[in-house]
């Protein structure tokens, strides 16, 4: 990082957005300086004329002078200033027009976070800007490639660097803040040194990303992939690699990057154990038309059929993780929406949710920042585990459970089953079974049998009724089975028990 700081101007009509951006990162520590903020394009131009920022971060929809007019004015008068556009989903069609005027990049507001912003800034400053140093007399092939990728460079004087007819874009990316660039560059050198007919140039890199272009003879790709795969196994396991579809002209590079790479990285999000994925190896996505019925899930919760609700939820999550073409942001938002709904439900049901509420936004942040599906689900399932602990610890206070136990006390002699009780009290059968296992260390059948044997012991000690009659009165249709259960429970046969307690 240079000793001087890149000057940044923030333009947005929402004060909270401006303040949020300002407080996202330690600007000076990262090599940047906030030189001002403006609420519209008119205010921004006044600051630009006085302070000449290197980078402008601007919203699109603003009063007086909007972001589109601001971009146009800045690029006409100060073409060296780089611009990052902020946009909501519904404003994205406006963003496309700003690219014609030369914006450097855009960020969707729902995806705006410290990492996304810093990566975008660093991508701009790494290759496109060096205002604090003398301008280089010559432009390197890497700089030409980066400009071509951004749409600012023709293919003139570039094609001569590539003697072969096959091209692939290769992107390395990682999550942890490791010093991976030297490692990856060394790795690429090793691979290309072994394979003289595979040329590789770095296009750009940042704190968590490196993009390069490979040019090779048609029969060299398989060798390169195998060598790369072998070397990946020797280095930091958190590094992932994606390779674009094959293209045959350097002029296609920008189009291939825009169409292939985000899709490939999205697939790898759902395949955490796969270190490398090429466009030709994209797995087939099985069509899943099953929709998650949020109303049904809420109804199960309100009925305290927690196990059924959570099983229904887990089954749907399992299906979603196999929908590799599902937008990662959409997947993460879905998980967060479930967390939000469960938190509201539990609070409305008068559970003590203070701890869950205090941790809710931590879960949101962890899911937002998750590198792959495994990290996202780790946080999600941790939340669900706390929910299960909460509802099972408090289940004794549930009026329905108390009524269920009283019902069993009054109707033990009848043909009671899990299904019958579940239907009667609107519980899931597996939930009732789990309740008995967790609270009595025995299953429903054992609990019912012990209740019946307890009643039989009273009758044996206080009446002269036959064992067959008592067996039937307490709910056993088979006397021999009753005798076996009785002896297992008490260590004595019914007749011996009666003799000892008369």
User: Could you read off the pLDDT of 100-109 as tens digits, one per residue?
Assistant: 667 777 787 7
Q: Say yes or no to pLDDT of 458 above 80.
A: yes
Hey, which residues does 9 pair with through a beta bridge?
36, 56
- CA 178 to chain CA centroid, Å, is 21
* pTM of this structure: 0.52
C-beta neighbour count of 93 within 10 angstroms: 9
C-beta neighbour count of 125 within 10 angstroms: 22
Strand 55-59 versus strand 6-11 pairing type: parallel
Claim to verify: residue 156 and residue 266 sit in the same structural domain: yes
Find the mean pLDDT for residues 112-141. 65
Domain count, the chain: 4
Find out whether 150 and 19 touch, Cβ atoms under 8 Å.
no
Check residue 325 and give its pLDDT.
Answer: 85
Instruction: Give pLDDT tens digits for 286-326.
Output: 766 678 888 888 888 888 788 788 889 989 999 999 888 88
Check residue 97 and give its pLDDT.
Answer: 59
Strand ranges, E, within 65-197:
82-87, 105-108, 166-173
Domain CATH for 478? 1.10.10.60
Lowest mean pLDDT among 2-11, 132-141, 370-379, 479-488: 132-141
Which range marks the domain in which residue 382 is found? 294-387
Find the mean pLDDT for residues 267-277. 89
Q: In what order do the strands lie in the sheet with 240-243?
A: 198-206, 209-216, 166-173, 240-243, 276-278
Claim to verify: residue 233 and residue 175 sit in the same structural domain: yes
List the structure tokens of 85.
Answer: 């556009």
Hey, which residues does 32 pair with through a beta bridge?
6
**Alpha carbon distance 196, 191 (integer Å):** 9
**Alpha carbon distance 483, 467 (integer Å):** 9
Classify residue 178: in a domain, yes or no.
yes
Find the mean pLDDT for residues 337-365. 88
pLDDT band at 451 (very low <50, low <70, confident <90, very high): very high
Domain CATH for 37? 3.40.50.2300
Claim to verify: residue 346 and residue 302 sit in the same structural domain: yes
Claim to verify: residue 97 and residue 77 sit in the same structural domain: yes
> Which range in 161-170, 275-284, 285-294 is most confidently predicted, on average pLDDT?
161-170
Which one of 357, 387, 417 terminates a domain? 387
Find the mean pLDDT for residues 98-124. 77
Which residues are CB-contacts of 441 (< 8 A; sequence separation ≥ 6)?
none
Claim to verify: residue 120 and residue 16 sit in the same structural domain: yes
Hey, which residues does 159 pair with through a beta bridge?
none
Instruction: Give pLDDT tens digits for 205-250.
Output: 776 788 899 998 888 888 888 888 877 776 666 788 899 999 999 9
Q: In what order do the strands lie in the sheet with 32-38?
A: 32-38, 6-11, 55-59, 82-87, 105-108
Find out whether 144 and 153 touch, Cβ atoms under 8 Å.
yes
Classify residue 417: in a domain, yes or no.
yes
Claim to verify: residue 247 and residue 162 sit in the same structural domain: yes
Residue appearing with tokens 């005798």: 483
Classify residue 289: in a domain, yes or no.
no
Find out whether 307 and 428 touch, Cβ atoms under 8 Å.
yes
Classify residue 354: in a domain, yes or no.
yes
Instruction: Give pLDDT tens digits for 43-100.
Output: 999 999 888 999 999 988 888 888 888 988 898 888 888 999 887 655 555 565 566 6
Which one of 102, 127, 152 terminates a domain? 127
Find out whether 460 and 473 touch, Cβ atoms under 8 Å.
no
Strand ranges, E, within 187-300:
198-206, 209-216, 240-243, 276-278
Which residues are CB-contacts of 269 (< 8 A; sequence separation ≥ 6)?
328, 371, 372, 373
Phi-psi region of 47 (alpha: psi -120 to 50; beta: other; left: phi over 0): alpha
Classify residue 486: in a domain, yes or no.
yes
Classify residue 40: in a domain, yes or no.
yes
Classify residue 132: in a domain, yes or no.
no
Classify residue 426: in a domain, yes or no.
yes
C-beta neighbour count of 322 within 10 angstroms: 13
Instruction: Give pLDDT tens digits for 422-431.
Output: 788 776 676 6
Which residues are CB-contacts of 191 (< 8 A; sequence separation ≥ 6)?
198, 200, 224, 227, 228, 231
Residue appearing with tokens 């390069």: 212
Q: Which is higher by pLDDT, 291 or 184?
A: 291
Start-to-end CA distance of the chain, whole Å, equals: 94
Counts for the chain of helices (H) and strands (E), in that order: 22, 10
Which one of 387, 413, 432 terminates a domain? 387
Q: Which of 362, 264, 353, 266 is nearest to 301 (CA)?
A: 353
Q: Say yes or no to pLDDT of 184 above 80.
A: no
């Amino acid at each position: 990082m240079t000793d001087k700081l890149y000057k940044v101007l923030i333009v947005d009509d929402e004060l909270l957005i401006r303040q949020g951006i300002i407080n996202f990162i330690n600007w000076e520590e990262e090599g940047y300086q906030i030189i001002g903020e403006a609420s519209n394009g008119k205010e921004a131009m006044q600051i630009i004329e006085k302070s000449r920022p290197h980078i402008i971060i601007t919203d699109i929809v603003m009063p007086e002078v909007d972001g589109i007019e601001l971009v146009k004015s800045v690029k006409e008068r100060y073409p060296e200033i780089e611009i990052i556009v902020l946009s909501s989903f519904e404003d994205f069609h406006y963003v496309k027009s700003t690219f014609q005027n030369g914006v450097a990049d855009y960020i969707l507001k729902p995806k705006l976070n410290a990492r996304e912003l810093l990566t975008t800034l660093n991508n701009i400053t790494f290759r496109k800007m060096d205002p604090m140093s003398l301008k280089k007399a010559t432009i390197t092939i890497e700089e030409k490639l980066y400009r071509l990728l951004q749409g600012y460079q023709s293919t003139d004087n570039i094609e001569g660097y590539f003697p072969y007819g096959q091209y692939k874009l290769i992107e390395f990316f990682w999550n942890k803040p490791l010093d991976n660039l030297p490692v990856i560059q060394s790795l690429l050198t090793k691979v290309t040194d072994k394979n003289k007919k595979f040329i590789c140039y770095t296009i750009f890199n940042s704190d968590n990303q490196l993009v390069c272009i490979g040019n090779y003879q048609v029969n060299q790709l398989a060798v390169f992939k195998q060598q790369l795969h072998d070397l990946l196994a020797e280095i930091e396991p958190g590094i992932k690699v994606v390779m674009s579809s094959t293209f045959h002209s350097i002029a296609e590079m920008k189009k291939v990057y825009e169409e292939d790479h985000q899709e490939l990285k999205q697939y790898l999000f759902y395949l955490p154990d796969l270190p490398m994925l090429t466009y030709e190896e994209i797995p087939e996505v099985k069509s899943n038309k099953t929709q998650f019925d949020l109303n049904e899930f809420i109804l199960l919760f309100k009925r305290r059929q927690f196990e059924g609700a959570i099983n229904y939820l887990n089954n749907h999550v399992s299906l979603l993780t196999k929908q590799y073409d599902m937008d990662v942001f959409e997947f993460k938002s879905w998980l967060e929406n479930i967390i939000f709904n469960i938190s509201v439900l539990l609070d409305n049901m008068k559970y003590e949710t203070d701890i869950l509420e205090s941790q809710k936004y931590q879960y949101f942040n962890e899911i937002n920042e998750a590198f792959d599906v495994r990290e996202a689900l780790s946080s999600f399932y941790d939340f669900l585990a706390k929910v299960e602990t909460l509802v099972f610890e408090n289940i004794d206070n549930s009026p329905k459970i108390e009524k269920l136990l009283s019902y069993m006390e009054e109707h033990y002699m009848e043909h009671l089953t899990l299904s019958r009780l579940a239907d009667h009290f609107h519980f899931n059968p597996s939930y009732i079974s789990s309740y008995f296992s967790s609270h009595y260390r025995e299953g429903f059948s054992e609990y019912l049998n012990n209740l019946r044997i307890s009643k039989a012991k009273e009758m044996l000690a206080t009446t002269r009724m036959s064992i067959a009659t008592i067996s039937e009165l307490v709910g056993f249709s088979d006397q021999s089975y009753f005798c076996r259960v009785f002896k297992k429970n008490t260590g004595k046969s019914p007749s011996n028990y009666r003799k000892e307690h008369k």
